[in-house]
Amino acid sequence: MYSSITALSTGINAFGSGFGDFINATQNGQSALITSFLIGNNALRPERSRENEYGADFGFFDQKADLGLTWYNKRSTDVIIAVPVSAAQTGATQQFANAASLSNKGVEVSLNVRPITSRNVAWEVGATYGRNKGLVNSLAGAQFIPYNTEGFLGAIGSSTIGFAPGVLRGLDFARCGRGLQFDINNDNVVDDIDALCLDGGPFKNGALYLGADGLPVVDPTDRVIADPNPHYTMGFNTSVKLMNKLTLSGLVDVRKGGQVWDGTRSALLNFGTHAETLIRDQQGQFGKNFLTDIYPDVAGPGRNVVAFTTPNDWAGWFQGEGGSFGQSSAQFIEDGSFVKLREISISYTLDQPAIQRLLGFSTVDVRIAGRNLHTWTKYRGLDPEANLGGAEFLTQGIDFFNNPQTRSVVLSLNFNR
């Protein structure tokens, strides 16, 4: 609604790096007015979308089971997004524009089964499945547009042609098989990484290139390093009702795929407070006993070199390329798949005559529910579902000291006339 105008921002405005330093634009308690780094565009056109959707509902066994199927294909043009602009004239770094063409295809499936539907016992089991494939088709001539306001420079969200919206871009270490050619030693000589990978024998595509010192080198190519969008999501629910009074229910959520940049881990490694830094009292070697889960295959002249022999070696790594102030962010990308016990609840309906006589209500429902009770995941952070910008931001999959989902126990009373 306000994308066509450039407004001033009021209130307490501070500018800083995010690590404690800042300049406050408010002075002596007086609110300041500042121009936004994101300016409007009064030439914006409405976004346009076309969607084909097909669905079917089926009932089986005298309605003891039902199945719902939906397939959709949505194409959007003139999508309004913030695009980079030169700050030389206005001081702004972005402006809204009709700059994107997107498509979304997906399927949704729901199944509910009622094995028992007697007068005193009712049991229902349900399952849902959803899969969505988003694709950026065009960006007004650009190959990608970063979302500079939503993340960090090391792992920033973007719209990139050929990928789903919101993929993270950044730098990785040099990998074999990518045809990389760049100056490793800053001696004005272009090095052929694939040729150097052959030093020591054949290599697998994607193997981590190690220099003569046993350390990786940063690939200067900005590229897509993670896709936070899940491959699919599922949900399972069940409920049992006894004597029309006591109800037991449960809900489990599943997300398969979707990558997360664990910026929390990168910062803790830099400051030496992460459990992984306990390895500093041991010798470390890529491809043998260090980061083998992320880089199982190594190649190059340093494939058999012990890179870390003293605590100082480890400190140099974690405070450099192995921590939050290094250039490479791909090493902190992790699988964000999870299974969550979302809720278990028990409720009971009180309908004794004394309820109406004493309280004036026909029934009272007493319910106790536990939410977010457990998460099964290989993600090393606190919660793969948490996100720095919140659910309203287009970019997902950024973890930087985010609060995890709240685990809670809720007691509720419902009074019915």
Q: Residue 267 is inside which H or E element, if any? A: helix 263-270
- DSSP secondary structure letter of residue 187: S
Measured from the Cβ of residue 314, the count of other Cβ atoms closer than 10 Å reads 24
- DSSP secondary structure letter of residue 300: S
Encode pLDDT of 348-371 as tens digits. Answer: 988 888 777 777 788 888 999 999
Whether residue 392 is predicted with pLDDT greater than 70 in this model: the reply is no
Encode pLDDT of 39-72 as tens digits. Answer: 777 888 888 999 999 999 999 988 899 999 999 9
List, in order, residues 6 or more apart from 398 with CB less than 8 Å away.
150, 151, 152, 155, 157, 168, 228, 260, 261, 263, 387, 388, 389
Locate tokens 């910008």: which residue?
A: 389
- DSSP secondary structure letter of residue 10: -
Asked if 180 and 174 touch (Cβ cutoff 8 Å), the reply is yes
Asked if 277 and 416 touch (Cβ cutoff 8 Å), the reply is no
Whether residue 28 is predicted with pLDDT greater than 70 in this model: the reply is no
pLDDT value of residue 244:
86
What rounded mean pLDDT belongs to the chain?
88
**Cα distance between residue 308 and residue 312, in whole Å:** 8
Asked if 209 and 153 touch (Cβ cutoff 8 Å), the reply is no
**Cα distance between residue 178 and residue 299, in whole Å:** 13
Please state whether the predicted TM-score (pTM) of the whole model is above 0.75: yes
Q: Write 110-119 long-range contacts (CB < 8 A, 24+).
A: 110/67, 110/68, 111/65, 111/66, 111/67, 111/68, 112/65, 112/66, 113/64, 113/65, 114/63, 114/64, 114/65, 115/64, 117/64
Per DSSP, the three-state class of 80 is strand
Encode pLDDT of 126-173 as tens digits. Answer: 999 999 999 999 998 889 988 765 555 668 888 999 999 999 999 999
pLDDT value of residue 318:
95
**Cα distance between residue 304 and residue 298, in whole Å:** 9
Whether residue 297 is predicted with pLDDT greater than 80 in this model: the reply is yes
CA neighbor of 142 nearest in space, from 82, 202, 196: 82
Residues belonging to the chain: 417
Q: How far is CA 289 from CA 314, 323, 354, in A?
A: 14, 18, 70
**Cα distance between residue 190 and residue 227, in whole Å:** 31
pLDDT value of residue 186:
85
**Cα distance between residue 34 and residue 25, in whole Å:** 8
Encode pLDDT of 29-48 as tens digits. Answer: 666 677 777 777 788 888 89
**Cα distance between residue 319 and residue 100, in whole Å:** 39
Residue-wise DSSP of 370-416: EEEEEEE---SSS-TT--TT-TTSS---EESSPPPPPPEEEEEEEEE
pLDDT value of residue 10:
62
**Cα distance between residue 49 and residue 78, in whole Å:** 9
**Cα distance between residue 230 and residue 259, in whole Å:** 8
Whether residue 413 is predicted with pLDDT greater than 80 in this model: the reply is yes
pLDDT value of residue 11:
52
Per DSSP, the three-state class of 327 is coil
Q: Token pair of 359, please?
A: 């309280």
**Cα distance between residue 140 and residue 344, in whole Å:** 49
